[in-house]
Amino acid sequence: MTLPSATLLAQAVLSGVFIGALYGLLGLGLSLSWGMLRQINLAHFALAFLGAYLTHHLTSVAHWDPLATLLLIVPGFFAFGALLHWVFARFAITPFNSLLVTFGLTVIIESAIQWIWTADPRMLDSAYGHVKFKLGALYVPLPELLTLAFATTLSTATWAALRFTDLGRAMRAAAEDAPTAAAFGVDERRLSLLLSGVSAAFAGVAGLCLALSFTLAPSQVYAWIGVVFAAVMIGGLGNPLGPLVAGIVIGVSESLTMAITAPAWAPLVSFSLLIAVLLARAEKI
């Protein structure tokens, strides 16, 4: 076996960091809703792809700048996320049932995407896709750098908000013990709507990043579920930084596997890590 060059290994690490950041960004909203709202929202992935398709459409057809599409997507998805949680609360949907309901919602959203945009795969051709920077011998494409920036900023900002602000403390208190928090004046219902809206908005941002770097096809909704779930569970439910760190660990491991051995082994990496973590700290998940 020929040893890969240092440049190849370094580029693989960088590539892993970028894709890991996307895992983390996709996992951020999922981790918050699962860990703090006790809702396993499978529709999060469908929402991300809906965001990706909206980005693609607004950029390709209406000639918007891709980043400008967030002005529409973020508030729209926030409203949708809040509405979704209102429905869950109204009908007292349990965590297990939330998995079933959101699975159904995923199928509906995927079908709607296919109905509107057909099943033809699409790749966004934007100005961002033609820009790359050089770091010595390494290449840093702009779309991937944007993904890393969004993932880092949103994860850190969410962590800081939950840790250092009154709002964040209230959310954590409500998540841990809603009745007791209510006794201290915490409006758990409003905070839950806010958190659900924010999680859905994060899915929209992840959709922008998907559109900038990846091929879009309705069936691809399901391709990300496994690895992002692994990142969320390894990172710890409700921990905003967890999916990012775990995502990067998984991404780098996958990339190095692909650089050194057979790319076909890469999917083993994320699930092997998940199994190892589950065995080591099952009680903490």
Partner 1 sequence: MNVAPTMKAAPRFAASLAATVLGLGIAASPALAAPSGPPIRIGSTLSLTGPLSGTAIIHRIAGEIYVEQLNKKDGLLGRPVEWIVKDDQSKPDLTRTLYEQLITVDKVDLVIGPYATPNIVSAMGVAQRYNKMLVHHTMGIPSLAKYEMQFPAWSVGANPETTVPNTVLDALATLPRPPKTIAIVTSKFPSVYLMSKGAQEVAKKRGLAEVLFLEWEFGNRDYGPIANRVKDAKPEFVWVGAIGLEGNQLLDAMKKIDYLPPLHFYMYPAPGPLAKLPEASNALAASIFEQHPPFTNNPVAAEFVRLYNDRAAKAGLADNSVETQAAASYSTWQVLEAAITATKSLDDKAMSDWLKKNQVDTIQGRLRFDRTNNYGDDLMRVKQVQKGQWVTVWPKEWAAPGAKILGQ
Does 121 bind partner 1 (CB under 8 A)? Our answer is yes
Part of the chain binding partner 1 (CB under 8 A), chosen from 83-91, 195-203, 228-236, 258-266: 258-266
Part of the chain binding partner 1 (CB under 8 A), chosen from 3-11, 30-38, 41-49, 162-170: 3-11
Does 123 bind partner 1 (CB under 8 A)? Our answer is yes
Chosen residue from 135, 215, 275, 281 binding partner 1 by CB under 8 A: 215
Nearer to partner 1, 104 or 263 (CB): 263
**What Cα–Cα distance (Å) separates residue 135 from each residue in 10, 141, 283?**
11, 11, 42
Part of the chain binding partner 1 (CB under 8 A), chosen from 10-18, 47-55, 170-178, 194-202: 10-18
Cβ neighbourhood burial of 118 (10 Å; 0-12, 13-18, 19+): exposed
Least Cα distance to 205 among 11, 41, 52, 17 occurs for 52
Nearer to partner 1, 238 or 251 (CB): 251
Name the token pair of 71.
């002005």
Cβ neighbourhood burial of 140 (10 Å; 0-12, 13-18, 19+): middle
Per-residue burial over 172-202, b if 16 or more Cβ lie within 10 Å, else e, is bbbbeeeeebeeeebebeebbbbbbbbbbbb
Chosen residue from 8, 71, 157, 160 binding partner 1 by CB under 8 A: 8
Part of the chain binding partner 1 (CB under 8 A), chosen from 9-17, 76-84, 154-162, 234-242: 9-17
Does 184 bind partner 1 (CB under 8 A)? Our answer is no
47-66 residues near partner 1, rule: CB under 8 A: none
Chosen residue from 12, 82, 249, 269 binding partner 1 by CB under 8 A: 12
Least Cα distance to 98 among 112, 108, 84 occurs for 84
Part of the chain binding partner 1 (CB under 8 A), chosen from 26-34, 182-190, 201-209, 217-225: 217-225
Smallest distance, Å, CB 256 to partner 1? 8
CA dihedral 27, 230, 94, 76 (to 10 degrees): 20
- Residue 192 in contact with residue 178, Cβ under 8 Å? no
**65: CB partners within 8 A, 6+ apart:** 59
Does 4 bind partner 1 (CB under 8 A)? Our answer is yes
224-253 residues near partner 1, rule: CB under 8 A: 224, 251
Cα–Cα distance measured from residue 132 to residue 66, given in angstroms and rounded to the nearest whole number = 17
Chosen residue from 75, 104, 111, 157 binding partner 1 by CB under 8 A: 111
**What Cα–Cα distance (Å) separates residue 5 from each residue in 10, 12, 40, 258?**
9, 11, 42, 14
Does 94 bind partner 1 (CB under 8 A)? Our answer is no
The residues that touch partner 1, with contacts defined as CB under 8 A, are 4-5, 7-8, 11-12, 15, 18-19, 111, 114, 118-123, 129, 132, 139, 141, 214-215, 217, 219, 223-224, 251, 254-255, 258-259, 262-264, 266-267
